[in-house]
Amino acid sequence: MASSNSSNCVQISNVHHFELGDGMRLQVNVTGFSNGSNAKVELQLKNLIKSGDMYVIIIQLRDPRTDAIEFVLKDSRNDTWLKLNQGNFQIKIPKTDSSTSQPPIPKDLIDRRAYLRWESKGRPQDHDVALRELQSLSVKGISLDELQNSRLIAGTNRPALSREHLSSQKPYSCRRRHDIEQWTNKYTKGNTKKTNLPSSALLDRVEKSIGGDGVILQQTYNVGSYEIVVLLKIVGGDYHIIVAGNTKGATVLHWGVSKSSPGEWLIQLLILMQAPPMDIMPENSKLLDAACQTYFMDISNGKGFFQVEGGGGGIVKWLLDEISHREKEAERSLMHRFNIATELTERCKNEGELGLIGILVWLSEISEAQERFTNLLQRIYLDQPNVREILRLIMLCIGRGGQGDVGQRIRDEILVLQRNNDCKGGMMEEWHQKLHNNSSPDDVIICEALLNYVRSGFKIDVYWQTLNANGLTKDILASYDRPIVSEPRFRTDAKEGLLRDLTSYLKTLKAVHSGADLESAIETCLGFFPKDSLYFVKAHIGDKNIAPLIEKLVESRIELRPVLLTAHGRSKDLLFLDLALDSAVRTAVEMGLKDLNTASLPEIMFFIALVLENLCLSTFNNEELIYCTKCSFPKLLVCCCKRKDWYRVSESCKPNDGQWALQTKAVLDRVGLVLANRSQYYHQMIQPSVQYLGRLLSLDKGAIDIFTEELIRAGSAASLSMLINHLDPILRKVANLGSWQVISPMDITGLVVSVNELISVQTKVYRKPTVIIANKVSGEEEIPNGAVAVLTADTPDVLSHVLFASCFDQNVFRDLKLKEGKAISIQLRLSNLVISEVSSFDLSQNSFSTSSIPQGLTLKKKAFRGKFAISIEEFTTEMVGAKSCNILLLRRRVPSWIKIPISAAIPFGVFETVISDDLNKNLASKISSFSKLVDDGDLSKLKAIQETVLQMKAPLRLVWASKWNERAFVSSRKANLNHNNICMAVLIQEIICADYAFVIHTKNPLSGDASEIYAEIVKGLGETLVGAYPGRAMCFTARKNNIKSPIVVGYPSKQVGLYIKKSIIFRSDSNGEDLEGYAGAGLYDSVTMDKAQETVLDYSNERMIIDKDFQISLFRKIAEAGKIIEDLYGCAQDIEGVVKEGEIHVVQTRPQI
């Protein structure tokens, strides 16, 4: 089902209304067969989950003999059927005599049409053309009433808008009022149907083996002690059934095919069942009289029961193979190519995104469109909302006029030009980078200068004469965000190729910067979609004052949106118009980048708001973007949901207010995370198909490697990223944040080593003090031995025993990476890092220890004390770990207003006792064998031990298995702890269904100030805070001598919150945690009985942010609880807890390291 809005562009013959109870309503709109067109039945289900919801199914009927449709509805939430008077709903299909001629077009309507053409084109003698256009619209099903109404909006009653009149309008509209939440779309994977049974390890393994895409049904059966999983999957338009079980030894599936109904086999086996056809029998099958027997195959060896993906990862292999096979045929002509493309798209449309990605990759080089193919794409656009982003990219490749989107061609054709003429370096590469970042009318001049330079026989003075004559100097070229500082240097034998390619490229540049492509798209649609915003855009294409142009471009897209979601005769033209408007937004932003340096902060905010709205309109899975747009920048209190327009919102900003800057920075950070996720998603989904098909077609490796990156840089998100990069340093300056966020402060000296991911070196031992520069840090890694600092551009939630800092200035970070192999000194000065190279530095081993963990720690193995479960009153250090013992102490000593959850425990030794039982003796033998290999250095066997533990006949397996995760093993080895002596108790606690979760550090870890508390707070459960979830928590500090005056030092950018029903959590509680000088926090897993649900967070009305009285009261309580617990233990503490209905609940505490 897809949410939709109605449109006046669809002719509805009949409308039926039904009340379904509980506020639910069904509306059925029916368009009958007429003029050779299909009939259409549109079912609109309203108020299904909450008031205002609407879900739509559109049924196209092609057979004119169809008289009616019958149906019933099922509410799967309550397992109830919705019927009409205990019977079926029946909807009659009206008929219209196809021989009936079209009604005559009234003269006044023709006159108005001609007037519109005269007004927009200055051609007063357009009566005949207007008549032909109106007749064409009438044939496509648009009624005379609709044509009359559309003319009244923009016809003779409206005075013509001259360019001068439009130019006099205010730069920012005060009429813009949009409830952007109506644009929200949520991503769902196809039409996947799931049972109410919980997910299982077997199901996860099967999906991982065969790929989860295309699965439309899954069912789990429990038979005795075994589990059977059945999945129905669509592959290449065929239905595949996958059956898997966790049985041991040889297993046979005995199956057959029903003749008419699913229950036939149970009734009369031999009469009603029949053996399956030979062509659908899997391998290792044998045919019986009325059935088939198929032997299962072990999926643990990677073979799989069905080779659905054929070894391909993240691709639709059958499609890409067929594209490669038929490429020779496609090269015969564009007609052949697009006939093949239409056929393959029709066949793969049920493969979801990956199928359409294959088509996108193939079509990226095609230069002309074909009507039938674009019609099919437009139908899929309406029917399958989840794949609209990929469809937009495909249609950009093709283009409305067959030449592809000209904005995208700027980025594509410069690569072709460089490749064809062997000019990939120097000035041409500098120009290439500028074109990708901010193409502008200056590029037309640069291209003309290059052409003149080549024509003159490569005389460099001709190049400069052309540039200077058009106002471009060396200083201007060097001032671009991507500067051009080199002079052109070409091979003389490349002259003919350069002249040909530069001449062609000049046409593309002029098409973009003269607005010809957009103007043509507008002209096509103005007749039946006359909007003032479009007239404004048409009159102002190419204006240097880009603010009103961008506003009207976005305004036009907003007005288009409801029409795009409804089928009618001009859907395809409107979709191409929307694509052209989207592309024009990016072009306009690029043109205005150079002016941002002199723009006021409200103007920058306004630009970002517009570009955010534009990206929301281009993105299907846009829920988080909508929330970011709602929050907007100035003061999260004044947001779009309160119907404030963006210009007034921008005026309310406070350019010198540090708290305002912190709030705005948090929203920017979250937008940045959304863009990063979007980029990563594109790479994961598209690049595998690019690489596979590229190899099949023997394409240039360089083109293959950068394909997805170029696609991303050409999209709507790229212009937003440019604006964010411009605003971020301004906000950091206002908020006094500097270039670094120092998480663990200390002064150090060491050698620079640059890595991509910190996890790749977590097992390494550095023999000299080392400063690691890491591009990616998740927070789940172990710091390598010998590392004295980790510096990253990432922003994980992490605490560390070494210097740890995140860099927000890409130039600073880039310069730091260039110091690879050099010794540097890092000192903390006023919350910033001072980095300097050290000319002579003694890196001798005498003063350096490779381990920063205190030496001499011992670990005594715990014995089983005879009990498999104990109550909190029985907690002792011999039975449970420090986590459980601390809970007992807190329960006895803290004041009653600090709540402690109900707790019990599975004590030490229970795992060892259970694994030694006869039921598990084979598993114990495997664990012993794998452990010896791990002790010899084969860390890959840690995973094998975990998988073996998960096969135990006992609960709590996930917590016990986490003893053998790689990070925990590496950490214990660094501390010289015997991993075999680690014993795992399990603390069992009730889960508080939290409004907020917090972590308190009673000694500020950022400054090292013991007199100041530092706390972090997130919405929902605390896993998003202590786990590797992107984004920042809300943060505050409080002086211990002034607890009642907390100070906010950071606002939240966490993307999701975790919420769960009333349940139980099983927390790891080993004897290898919370040792003196070695906390070991977070090394082992805690598991909830029920799965928490991720919810995308909306901060626009978050009380913790906008209600200052509530905020101060909440922060005071949290800070006071932290101080009480620190006083109780007599040392600094890390304290985890939650807030429920204003009450503080503490779930654990440990010494702060």
**What digits encode the pLDDT tens for the residues 94-111?**
865 444 445 566 665 666
What pLDDT score does 33 carry?
65
Residue 1116 has pLDDT above 90, yes or no: yes
What pLDDT score does 878 carry?
94
Whether 906 contacts 956, CB under 8 Å: yes
Give pLDDT tens digits for 742-777: 877 778 888 999 998 888 888 888 888 899 999 888
Whole-number Å distance between alpha carbons of 959 and 1067: 7
- Which long-range contacts link 607-610 to residues 24+ away (Cβ below 8 Å)? 607/547, 607/550, 607/723, 608/633, 608/720, 608/723, 608/724, 608/727, 609/633, 609/646, 609/649, 609/650, 610/550, 610/551, 610/554, 610/585, 610/646
Q: Which residue, 301, 322, 338, sits at the end of a domain?
A: 301
Whole-number Å distance between alpha carbons of 327 and 541: 40
Average pLDDT, the chain: 78
Mean pLDDT within 301-326: 60
User: Which band of pLDDT confidence, cut at 50, 70 and 90, is reported for residue 200?
Assistant: low
Backbone phi, psi, residue 927, to 5°: -60, -40
What pLDDT score does 99 carry?
42
**Domains held by the chain: number:** 6
Residues 767, 700 share a domain = no
Is the residue at 379 inside a domain? no
Residues 286, 233 share a domain = yes
Mean pLDDT within 1078-1085: 76
Give pLDDT tens digits for 664-722: 888 888 888 888 888 888 888 888 888 888 888 887 787 788 888 878 877 788 888 88
Q: How far is CA 1056 from CA 618, 763, 1018, 1096, in A?
A: 22, 31, 9, 4
Give the DSSP per-residue string, 394-427: HHHHH-TTSS--HHHHHHHHHHHHHHHTT--SHH
Q: Where are the alpha helices (DSSP H) in 936-1072?
A: 941-949, 957-961, 966-974, 1023-1026
Give pLDDT tens digits for 410-432: 877 888 899 889 998 899 999 99
Give pLDDT tens digits for 1000-1012: 999 998 888 899 9
Residues 645, 544 share a domain = yes
User: Which band of pLDDT confidence, cut at 50, 70 and 90, is reported for residue 145?
Assistant: low
Lowest mean pLDDT among 11-25, 833-847, 1099-1113: 833-847
What pLDDT score does 224 carry?
61
What pLDDT score does 855 carry?
56
Residues 129, 164 share a domain = yes
Mean pLDDT within 500-510: 88
Q: How many CB atoms lie under 10 A from the CB of residue 1079? A: 18
What pLDDT score does 79 carry?
76
Q: How far is CA 855 from CA 478, 620, 851, 973, in A?
A: 56, 54, 8, 11
Lowest mean pLDDT among 639-643, 920-924, 1065-1069: 639-643
Residue 286 has pLDDT above 50, yes or no: yes
More confident residue, 78 or 1140: 1140
Is the residue at 425 inside a domain? no
Q: Tell me the two tokens of residue 128.
A: 């005949």
Residue 1120 has pLDDT above 80, yes or no: yes
Residues 61, 209 share a domain = no
Q: Which residue, 60, 92, 124, sits at the end of a domain?
A: 92
Mean pLDDT within 1115-1126: 97
Q: Tell me the two tokens of residue 100.
A: 């009936």
More confident residue, 727 or 137: 727
What pLDDT score does 259 carry?
57
Give pLDDT tens digits for 326-372: 888 887 655 677 788 888 988 888 888 888 888 888 876 443 335 66
Q: Examine the residue annotation and report whether 1145 is marked as an active-site residue of this protein.
A: no
Q: Which residue, 734, 763, 797, sits at the end of a domain?
A: 734
What pLDDT score does 396 carry?
73
Is the residue at 1139 inside a domain? yes
Is the residue at 943 inside a domain? no
User: Which band of pLDDT confidence, cut at 50, 70 and 90, is reported for residue 574?
Assistant: confident
What pLDDT score does 141 carry?
57
Give pLDDT tens digits for 903-914: 999 999 999 999
What pLDDT score does 53 carry?
72
Is the residue at 691 inside a domain? yes
Q: What is the CATH number of the domain that holds 1073?
A: 3.30.470.20
Determine whether 327 is exposed, middle or buried from the number of CB atoms within 10 Å of its CB (0-12, 13-18, 19+): middle
Residues 206, 175 share a domain = no
Of 899, 797, 844, the closest CA to residue 1142 belongs to: 899
Note down the domain range covering 1119: 870-909+983-1151
More confident residue, 1064 or 740: 1064
Whether 611 contacts 566, CB under 8 Å: no
Residue 297 has pLDDT above 90, yes or no: no
Residue 189 has pLDDT above 70, yes or no: no
Backbone phi, psi, residue 788, to 5°: -110, -10
Residue 734 has pLDDT above 80, yes or no: yes
Q: Tell me the two tokens of residue 926.
A: 């495997």
Residues 121, 45 share a domain = no
Give pLDDT tens digits for 16-65: 888 887 778 888 888 876 655 678 888 888 877 766 677 888 888 877 77
What pLDDT score does 1014 carry?
95
Residues 896, 1002 share a domain = yes
Mean pLDDT within 851-859: 60
Residue 157 has pLDDT above 50, yes or no: no
Residues 271, 148 share a domain = no
Give pLDDT tens digits for 662-673: 888 888 888 888
User: Which band of pLDDT confidence, cut at 50, 70 and 90, is reported for residue 406?
Assistant: low
User: Which band of pLDDT confidence, cut at 50, 70 and 90, is reported for residue 82?
Assistant: confident
User: Which band of pLDDT confidence, cut at 50, 70 and 90, is reported for residue 848?
Assistant: low
Percentage of the residues of the chain whose pLDDT score is greater than 70: 76
Whether 743 contacts 1049, CB under 8 Å: no
Residue 1148 has pLDDT above 70, yes or no: yes
Residues 780, 713 share a domain = no
Residues 154, 49 share a domain = no
Q: How far is CA 474 from CA 485, 486, 597, in A?
A: 7, 10, 19
Residues 6 or more apart whose CB falls under 8 angstroms from that of 1130 comprise none
Is the residue at 557 inside a domain? yes
Residue 283 has pLDDT above 80, yes or no: no
User: Which band of pLDDT confidence, cut at 50, 70 and 90, is reported for residue 1018?
Assistant: very high
Residue 1138 has pLDDT above 90, yes or no: yes
Give pLDDT tens digits for 615-642: 988 888 888 888 888 765 433 333 333 3
Give pLDDT tens digits for 434-471: 887 777 778 889 999 999 999 999 999 999 999 988 87
Annotated active-site residue in 127, 436, 801, 1145: 801
What pLDDT score does 634 carry?
38
Could you identify the residue written with the tokens 């984004």? 1031
Q: How far is CA 826 from CA 460, 793, 805, in A?
A: 47, 16, 11
What pLDDT score does 995 carry?
94
What pLDDT score does 198 carry?
36
What pLDDT score does 594 carry?
76
Q: How far is CA 84 from CA 20, 40, 105, in A?
A: 9, 21, 42
Residues 1134, 1051 share a domain = yes
Is the residue at 900 inside a domain? yes
More confident residue, 820 or 646: 820
Mean pLDDT within 1026-1035: 87
The H or E element containing residue 443 is helix 442-455
User: Which band of pLDDT confidence, cut at 50, 70 and 90, is reported for residue 195?
Assistant: very low
Pairing of strands 24-31, 68-71: unpaired
Whole-number Å distance between alpha carbons of 707 and 695: 13
Whole-number Å distance between alpha carbons of 564 and 571: 6
Residue 1147 has pLDDT above 80, yes or no: yes
Give the DSSP per-residue string, 773-797: EEEE--S-SPPPEEEEEEEESS---
Burial 635-664 (b: 16+ CB within 10 A, else e): bbebbbbeebbbbebbebbeeeeeebbbbb
More confident residue, 133 or 244: 244
Is the residue at 458 inside a domain? no
